[in-house]
Structure 1
C-alpha cells in the first residue's frame, strides 16, 4: 500500500505520488519540494486546476504551513502541473 496524503484544497486523501509537497524552509519561507523528501513541515496539493485556484484564492499554503507563501510559489505550482500535464 502506498502512502496517502490529503490535498489542502479538496481535502481528499490521495496517493502521495499524485500530489506535490510544499514545505517551510528554515528561513520561514514556503517552497515546492518536488522530491517530497526534504525536511520541514509540509502540505500537499493535487493537480486539479480547481484546487490550485482555491489554494491561491484562500492562501491555503500559508494557513497550512504557518509561513507566508508568495505568489511565485503558486505560479510555480501552476507551471509545474501544466508542464507535467
Structure 2
C-alpha cells in the first residue's frame, strides 16, 4: 500500500539557500559573500581569489587582518590548504590593507 501525502496550501516556500563558509582564523561562520577565498600560488605564496573561481583547494577568511594573524598563529592556513610548506601571507596582508572592504 502506498501512502499519499497532500500538499498543504499553508506551506511557505523556504528562503533561498545562502552558502556559508567557516573563517580559518576566528572559526566564525559567515555567508560566502562576506569572506575572502585564499588559494596557494607558486612559492608557496597565498593569493586572494576575489571571485572565488580559481581551481583547487581554498581557505576562507574574513577580510580582517586580525583573522589573518590568528590563522597564521594557529597554522590553520596550511591545514586548510593541505600543505606543510611555510606560507607567505604578505600579498594577502597587502591586499587587506588596500581593500575597500570593511573589517569583520
Question: What interval of TM-score do these two structures reach, taking the shorter chain for normalisation?
Answer: 0.7 to 0.9
Gaps spanning 5+ residues in structure 1: where?
A: none
Find the residue that maps to 2:91 and give its secondary structure. helix
Contact 2:39–2:49 (Cα < 8 Å) also in 1? yes
Shift of the 3–46 alpha-carbon distance from structure 1 to 2, 3 Å rule, reads same
Give aligned pairs, total: 83
Larger radius of gyration: 2
Q: Normalising by the residue count of structure 2, what TM-score does the alignment of the two structures yield?
A: 0.63
Q: Which structure has greater helix proportion?
A: 1
1:15, distance to aligned residue in structure 2 (A): 0.2
Gaps spanning 5+ residues in structure 2: where?
A: 1-16
1:28, distance to aligned residue in structure 2 (A): 6.5
CA root-mean-square deviation:
2.3
Match for residue 84 of structure 1? 101
